[in-house]
Amino acid sequence: MSERNGIVRIGVYVCHCGTNIAAIVDCKAVAEYAGGLYHVTVSRDYKYLCSDPGQELIRQDIRDHKLNRIVVASCSPHLHEHTFRTAAEGAGLNAFYVHMVNIREHNSWVHENREAATKKAQDMVRAAVRRVVFHQSLEKVRVPVHPDVLVVGGGIAGIHAALTLANAGKKVYLVERQPTIGGHMAMFDKTFPTLDCAACILTPKMSSVKAHPNITLWAHSDVTKVEGYVGNYKVEVARRPRYINEDLCSGCLECIEACVYKEPKFIDEFNMGLGKRKPIYIPFPQAVPQMPLIDIDTCIQFKSGKCKKTCVQACGDRHAIDFSQKEEIRNIEVGTIIMATGFKAFDARRTPYYGYGTYPNVYTSLEVERLVNASGPTAGDVVLRDGRKPKTVGIIHCVGSRDEGTNRWCSRVCCMYSLKLAHLLKEHTDAEIFNFYIDIRTPGKGFEEFYQRLLSEGVHFIRGRVAEVTDWALDPTEENKLVLRVEDTLLGTVRRIPVDMVVLSVGIEPHEDAQDVRRLFNFGCGSEGFFLERHPKLAPVSTFTDGIFVAGCCQGPKDIPDTVAQAGAAAAEALALIDTGFVEQEPNTAYVIEDECSGCKTCVPMCPYSAVYFNADTKRAGIHQVLCKGCGTCVAACPSGSIKQHLFEDDQIFEEIEGVLTYA
Amino acid sequence: MPENYEPKIVAFFCNWCTYLAADLAGTSRMKYAANTRVIRVMCSGRVDPQFVLEAFAKGADGVLIGGCHPGDCHYQEGNYKALRRYYLLKRTLREMGIEEERFRLEWISAAEGDRVRTVVNDMVQKLRALGPRKMNPAIEPELEEVAAS
Amino acid sequence: MLALIRRKMKFQREADPEWAEQISKAPGCDRVFSCIQCGTCSGTCPLSIYMDFTPRRIIALVREGFRTDALSCQTIWLCASCYSCTVHCPQNVHITDVMYSLKREAIKHKLYPSRFPIPVLAREFYEIVRRRGRNSEFWLVLRMAMKSNPLVLLTMAKTGWGLLRTGRMSLKSERITRIRELQNELADPQEVSR
Amino acid sequence: MTPEQAAKTSKGYLYFPGCSLRATGVAYEESLVELFRLLNIPLVELPDWNCCGATSYMCIDEGSAFLLSARNLSLAHTVNSRDLLAPCAACYLVLKKTQDYAAKHPKIRTQVEESLARGGLPPFDGVKVRHPLEMLYNDVGRDTLKSNVIRRWRGGRIACYYGCQAVRPYDEVDTAYNPMRMDELLQDVGAPTVDYALKTKCCGGSLTGTVHEVGVRLNYILLKEAARKGAEAIVTICPLCQFNLDAYQAEIRKATNEPIDMPILYFTQVLGYALGGDPKKLGLHRGISGRDLIKRWFPAHEEVEAYV
Amino acid sequence: MSEKAKVAFYWCASCGGCEEAVVDLAEKILEVSAAVEIVLWPVALDFKRKDIEAIPDGGIVATFLNGAIRSTEQEEMAHLLRRKSKVMVALGSCSQLGGIPGLANLWDRSAILEAVYKGSPSTVNPEGTTPQTAYKDNGRTPTLPMLYNTVRTLDQVVDVDYYIPGCAPAAKLVLDAVETLLSGNLPPKGTVLAPDRALCDECPRRDTRPDKLELAEFKRPHQIIADPEKCLLAQGLLCLGPATRGGCGGLCTKGNMPCTGCYGPTSRVRDYGGKALTALASIIEAKDDTDIEKVLAGIPDPVGTFYRYSLPASLLKRKTLEA
């Protein structure tokens, strides 16, 4: 066999990874064992192979012992394969003569029995040694990276990423589902802990998005199809009709004034239903694009076709209003994609014991954000749904967080925004405020100081998760109040606290359609539904799909500073790819041995990328190397064994199988 | 069955989901049985039935294929191809005298490190209960008595 | 003076971690160590206001292995097993089951507060059913009262009369036909084998 | 009634009375039997049933506690595969819990099955434990009940009290947090129900007998809040709840001198009466409190008139 | 005569069809027999074992042995002929792959004797007599070869130089083989003397197979009347052509019957059944488990289908039985 590939000289290197591996796997024994295997010229164990001296050790051996195959038993190839391949190249050996054995993640970290773990490591090394004999020299495939970028989601994350890229001179497509960009941040009143007004810091960024020559903003639009691969994505965007022609509309908003509905009459989504709007409306004054849209469910023209169309008259010869507008499909090509689709606020109805939806004076934190907002439905005046002004307020933390019944995770921001709301409510109403918390978590710049400030403002902090919010009264002091029953765990007794207003600090959860979205883009998702980063520490904004990056709460709960930082990081990652100009692809492509192929076409339907084709002239199958992503499904399907796959040749895998099984 | 019988499982894990899940199990220090020998393939769709047959032929007590959940395949449909082959191969193996429990296909996403633990432990436990593989009979049967007249 | 002032201090030597482990092995108690001490259990418990330790503190005591406190308190006996804590607990700690396992321990080691009627009731109930296969509320209450505090009978008389008048008190105590088999089933295996 | 409902009910049900329904809760049994007669659904008492063990057995030794209720399941298994109705919340819970834990902990299952074997009894799985409320709601169905109503509701407003163990922790009878099925059924027969925040709060169970004052206090709160919400009567689905709320009102009046005198009924009584049942057969004479109101609401010789 | 190259034909566990292939050479047989001296050919000429033993080792240029090895006698003869021959050619599916007799590897000797001598409905055997390897009969002890538990391919018993696939091999292949051998310029050892491409390459129906063929169900030949032009697989028939080595020129598919795989795998394949299986399973349309199972129900006997000719040569070789 080996003769087929010339004289094989293998070097085997077993890494201790400090004690990470050595504590469970007897690295010395493994190295000694490997030394006795056929074709193995050098075999060593070493403390940290990924370190410079470690790599140098390998390079030196390649030179001294004319090694032409390298087996490294250490961590996961996902972590260090690149490192060791580069090391080998450094000594003039083709990178693909290197093979890694995972004896850390798959062994020392998951096993406890030293003997069994060592045995397993030896089996795996033996398999690798037999495998590399059949390795061949390969060249990496280079594909160019399209310089344009798609940013999905127009919240603060998407906005920041888009601006960063645009300012770097890259063309950016920013696609937002809602009629305006701004996301959740646009709904907030103040931001913790500095209490600077959200609108004041956000709206300038929003308008510069609109104004930026490098940014194409498509609001009220959805990504409907994604094809291709890193550097060369083909994306289809569906632009839902606003019934306003954006080229003609000047954003004067007179049409809204003129609507036949003199008074706003319909649920105003942006204000969480606390306010009203007209059928033709703009979500909020600083919305971007600064342009109204028509809600066909409430617009008379759409419902009956019999409307005076005062809006059209108001628009006059601009003729910007177009009832016949249809959905438009746009197809774009981009090289990289940044996902910034944000989050969904927890639906408080899922915790019925807090009475949201039953008792009108129970609010969610997001509703309160609007309520205290100067540009909100009550112009910042805090009045309850029953018209009263609250004298006592209870703020319940961790609603839809840290709860096996709803969401297990901590939403990270609730503690701080609850403090913020406590402060704002006190400021607006001078009410007596009770915070009910399980733990106060203020890990952030200026956070703990803010907590101190609240304490000094005389806000009550009661450590205990409220059991129930009810309206049943034991005595007159509790009549017409909402009563919170809770254990004050610091006093060690149960308390009944009557309040006028209850605020539920709802947590952060993934969008309902998060799974569909990431399937559309074809990348991973954690079990709870947040987008999965490539590595929690070392690749926090990359996904397992090259060229797609994540930023903001779609990846996990985080506050505005973290979101912006992550958005910047995602933009930088994209820039790095674009400026390199190309990506090197793993040469694990499949290929047809032409004169062995019978042209049976079994392979053709296997390929989701149409890389496999049937050549009608030669009557043989063929594979476009650029299109092939190296899954190997066609290889496994080929009935006559005439398709092979670089790096995963049948022989290599058969050797691995026999390697792990044949005891030596 | 030998007292310290340790079934040996050849596991084909897809690069994008199950292999990563196994990595995750590692980084989260979950403990599970040391009976698997993982062979990395890019996609569960790469697993040629010959690989499974070879593994059993060479004495594996079990073969485990790990892939992405349906709809989550990094290569869109590879796991469905794997699924279709799996069912036919499973039946074939059964007729060749290899028990169902010995051949398993599991969908384990990159986030399900814990599932790797449970699946492996469960399979090991089932195989222990099953005991070592059945043997091929000797080619020459022991000669029977020469019949008397 | 010392009569008024009491010295409070928990010494680690009083703690018994093995015992905590053992409790966590009982059916339904597997999650005691996941408790985040949020107090929802106490908050939702209708009886926590009468307890010497709130349910949350009981869990804390169990986890830290302070066996005597956990077993000799009234809390576990005041638990009416209404399962409110169990369904409200954000960490799926089955507090009701924990209470049960503590009650069993307390009975086994005779650690429950003396003349406290509830454990008495439990044991009388146990006896009656063991003997007849069915319970008789009348006899149960009578026996319980006799053993704990006969005076309560006076307060109960009125209620009793009400029941008697409406034909809701049956003095005859039923017995199942296959009682022998039942007792045989209830007997613990070792005895049977002997 | 939908075909599948018809199929289900025509088979009839096994019936596990439990000790209370033979004493303080006798009215519950009477009304249940009468109601099923009116709906002509067969009801077969589980032969030689034994006490479920209630809460007490679990305090002494879980082994025998599980065994005790398992025996009933096993008996039911021997009779036939019909669903087993347990009207008493405590019985219902204990039976369900036994199945649940046997499923979750193989150790318990084998232990119990061995013990059962000693008594010559088969394994105990395969039997479905049901509560009348959920059974009437699902198997019979609101429409069927409505269509069978022949008496107009002449009573006042009602607070539906579900108590604890029927809805917790197994929320099959109804949801644990805000159960509504009893409310819906009673509304169907014309009885207006009030929004009652305490509908699943505990009545203290046996505490009224042991730590008397505490138990009574709990019931005082339940009664008071019901009255505060404008209810004139409380309807229950559990014999112990009914007893606790019913038996101590005089005492409460004395202690608080608040004019509390409220009928405490079983939902089966209300439904039974609406369907034309005879008050006596429904055990409506067995109430201790609010007797006058009961007389007025459920007149005995009221000639049955078409409900329009 | 004597300077003519000595050639032997022998049969082991086989149906004799391969002999027919030789006879099918028709008038060509004369050329062959003119060119060579046939020293053993049980089906046609009367030679005895001792005649072969008389020949010096390596005295035979080539032995064409068909049939699998499943008895003591067959094994002895295989060794004997190997010793006497320069070149050993496995002729036909049985000796190359085990062939139809190889399906006996789903059982063992006792089970087979039980079925054949007692079980089968057409058997009348009140004494329940079964073959004995030896039988004492007043002083004499006549013996019979012993049947093995497991059927083996020729190369699992002796060293084989070349293979001629097929059940039966196409006459042309046999002739070409003989000519190559006589020509003296021998192909590398172990070569299968047939094209190394799958059957589709020779099948006139290939071009009618859609580029992206996915099947909703499998059909069996008796269920439909197949279109004589269209790809049989495309018509849902279990045609194993894609996995099977060509060389027959598509005899079956020309006869409107699907290929059953007698020519075995191509040189790149280790387990014919595995590849035949993937060829079919890969192109199933169904996605969810129950649907897939439903489609696969159209393959009632996987082993009999995919290993019809190659069970002993497969990776698993036979069915495992209780130890």
Chains C and E are in contact, defined as 3 or more C-beta pairs closer than 8 angstroms: no
Chains E and D are in contact, defined as 3 or more C-beta pairs closer than 8 angstroms: no
* 8 A C-beta contact, residue E179 and residue E25: no
Q: Please report how many Cα atoms fall inside a 13 Å half-sphere around the Cα of residue A647, on the Cβ side.
A: 23
> Do C48 and A353 lie within an 8 Å CB cutoff?
no
Q: E213: burial class by Cβ within 10 Å (0-12, 13-18, 19+)?
A: middle
> Do D205 and C133 lie within an 8 Å CB cutoff?
no
- Contacts of residue B37 in chain A, CB cutoff 8 Å? 120, 123-124, 127, 660-661
pLDDT at D303: 54
* 8 A C-beta contact, residue D91 and residue D18: yes
- Contacts of residue A405 in chain C, CB cutoff 8 Å? 90, 92
Probe site for chain C from D51, D88, D107, D178 (most C CB atoms < 10 A):
D51
Q: Please report how many Cα atoms fall inside a 13 Å half-sphere around the Cα of residue E248, on the Cβ side.
A: 27
Q: Measured between CB atoms, which of B25, B27, B39 is closest to A657?
A: B39
Q: Is C24 on the interface with A (CB under 8 A)?
A: no
Q: Measured between CB atoms, which of C56, C90, C91 is closest to A487?
A: C56
Q: Is the pLDDT of residue E33 over 70?
A: yes
Nearest one of A563, B129, D221, A488 to C39, comparing CA atoms: A488
- Contacts of residue E275 in chain B, CB cutoff 8 Å? 48-50
- Contacts of residue A662 in chain B, CB cutoff 8 Å? 58
- DSSP tag of A464: S
* 8 A C-beta contact, residue B23 and residue A105: yes
pLDDT at A198: 94
Q: Determine the average pLDDT of the residues in C151-179.
A: 81
Chains touching D by CB (3 or more pairs below 8 Å): A, C
Q: Following CA atoms E306, E308, E309, E311 in sequence, which dihedral angle do they give, to the nearest 10 degrees? A: 70
The secondary structure element, H or E, covering residue A44 is strand A40-46
Q: Tell me the pLDDT tens digit for each residue of A195-238.
A: 999 999 999 999 999 999 999 999 999 999 998 889 999 999 99
Locate A579 and state its tokens. 């400026």
pLDDT bin (cut points 50, 70, 90) of residue C140 is: confident
pLDDT at D60: 87
E strand map for chain E: 5-11, 36-40, 60-66, 69-71, 85-91, 147-152, 162-164
pLDDT at A204: 95
> Do E197 and A597 lie within an 8 Å CB cutoff?
yes
- Contacts of residue B50 in chain A, CB cutoff 8 Å? 650, 654
What distance in Å separates the CA atoms of residue A384 and residue A388, rounded to the nearest whole number?
5
Residue whose entry in the numeric block shows the structure tokens 């003591």 = E72
Q: Tell me the pLDDT tens digit for each residue of E260-299.
A: 999 999 999 999 999 999 999 999 999 889 999 999 999 9
CA–CA min distance C51, chain A (Å): 9
> Do E148 and B139 lie within an 8 Å CB cutoff?
yes
Locate A612 and state its tokens. 């496999």
pLDDT at A2: 43
- Contacts of residue A103 in chain B, CB cutoff 8 Å? none
Radius of gyration of the CA atoms of chain D, in A: 19
pLDDT at A526: 78
Q: Determine the average pLDDT of the residues in E302-318.
A: 96
pLDDT at A1: 43
- DSSP tag of E316: S
> Do A120 and B34 lie within an 8 Å CB cutoff?
yes
What distance in Å separates the CA atoms of residue A390 and residue A503, rounded to the nearest whole number?
11
> Do B138 and E149 lie within an 8 Å CB cutoff?
yes
Q: Is the pLDDT of residue A4 over 70?
A: no
Q: Measured between CB atoms, which of C37, C38, C48 is closest to A494?
A: C48
pLDDT at E99: 96
> Do A524 and B38 lie within an 8 Å CB cutoff?
no
Q: Measured between CB atoms, which of A352, A353, A472 is closest to D225?
A: A472
Number of A/E CB contacts below 8 angstroms equals: 84
- Contacts of residue B59 in chain A, CB cutoff 8 Å? 661
pLDDT at E1: 43
* 8 A C-beta contact, residue A236 and residue A223: yes
Number of A/D CB contacts below 8 angstroms equals: 16
* 8 A C-beta contact, residue A237 and residue A298: no
Q: In what order do the strands lie in the sheet with E5-11?
A: E36-40, E5-11, E60-66, E85-91, E162-164
- Contacts of residue A596 in chain E, CB cutoff 8 Å? 196-197, 266, 268
pLDDT-flagged residues of chain D (< 70)? 81, 301-308
pLDDT at D305: 53
Nearest one of D53, D98, D72, D86 to D237, comparing CA atoms: D86
Q: Measured between CB atoms, which of A602, A613, A650 is closest to E242?
A: A602
pLDDT-flagged residues of chain B (< 70)? 1-3, 142-149
Provide the mean pLDDT of chain A: 94
| Closest chain C residue to A486, measured at CA | C43
- Contacts of residue C41 in chain A, CB cutoff 8 Å? 487
pLDDT at A353: 96
| Closest chain B residue to E297, measured at CA | B88
Q: Tell me the pLDDT tens digit for each residue of A76-127.
A: 999 999 999 999 999 999 999 999 999 999 999 999 999 999 999 999 999 9
**Cα C33 to Cα A588, B30, E2, distances in angstroms:** 48, 18, 95
What distance in Å separates the CA atoms of residue A363 and residue A354, rounded to the nearest whole number?
10
Q: Please report how many Cα atoms fall inside a 13 Å half-sphere around the Cα of residue B101, on the Cβ side.
A: 16
Locate A158 and state its tokens. 């998407």
pLDDT at A5: 56
pLDDT at A664: 44
CA–CA min distance D164, chain A (Å): 15
Interface of B with E (CB under 8 A): 48-50, 52-54, 56-57, 70, 80-81, 83-85, 87-89, 91-92, 95-98, 133-141, 143-144, 146-149
* 8 A C-beta contact, residue A219 and residue A289: yes
pLDDT at C194: 37
| In chain C, residues 87-146 whose CB comes closer than 8 Å to chain D | 87, 94, 96, 100-101, 103-104, 107, 117-119, 121-123, 125-126, 129, 133-138, 141, 144
> Do A486 and C37 lie within an 8 Å CB cutoff?
no
| In chain D, residues 30-69 whose CB comes closer than 8 Å to chain C | 48-51, 53-64, 67-68
pLDDT at B144: 55
> Do A473 and D228 lie within an 8 Å CB cutoff?
yes
pLDDT at B149: 38
Q: Tell me the pLDDT tens digit for each residue of A268-286.
A: 999 999 999 999 999 999 9
pLDDT at C161: 83
Q: Is the pLDDT of residue A576 over 90?
A: yes
Q: Measured between CB atoms, which of A599, A641, A654 is closest to E266?
A: A641
Tell me the pairing of strands A468-470 and A482-488.
Answer: antiparallel
pLDDT bin (cut points 50, 70, 90) of residue C119 is: confident
- ipTM higher than the 0.85 cut: no
Q: Is the pLDDT of residue A249 over 90?
A: yes
Q: Tell me the pLDDT tens digit for each residue of A596-647.
A: 999 999 999 999 888 999 999 999 999 998 889 899 999 999 999 999 999 9
Q: Tell me the pLDDT tens digit for each residue of A16-33.
A: 999 999 999 999 999 999
| Closest chain B residue to A523, measured at CA | B74
CA–CA min distance D39, chain A (Å): 35
pLDDT bin (cut points 50, 70, 90) of residue A544 is: confident
| Closest chain A residue to C92, measured at CA | A404
- Contacts of residue E207 in chain A, CB cutoff 8 Å? 619
pLDDT bin (cut points 50, 70, 90) of residue A515 is: confident
Q: Measured between CB atoms, which of A117, A532, A637 is closest to B111?
A: A532
> Do B134 and E323 lie within an 8 Å CB cutoff?
yes
Q: Tell me the pLDDT tens digit for each residue of A474-490.
A: 899 999 999 999 999 99
Residue A234, strand partner residues: A227, A333
pLDDT at D133: 96
| Closest chain E residue to A597, measured at CA | E197
pLDDT at D81: 64
Q: Determine the average pLDDT of the residues in C103-131.
A: 87
Nearest one of A98, A194, A52 to A647, comparing CA atoms: A98
| In chain D, residues 220-239 whose CB comes closer than 8 Å to chain C | none
Q: Measured between CB atoms, which of E270, E277, E289 is closest to B92?
A: E277
* 8 A C-beta contact, residue A145 and residue A580: yes
Q: Is the pLDDT of residue E4 over 90?
A: no
Residue A238, strand partner residues: A222, A329
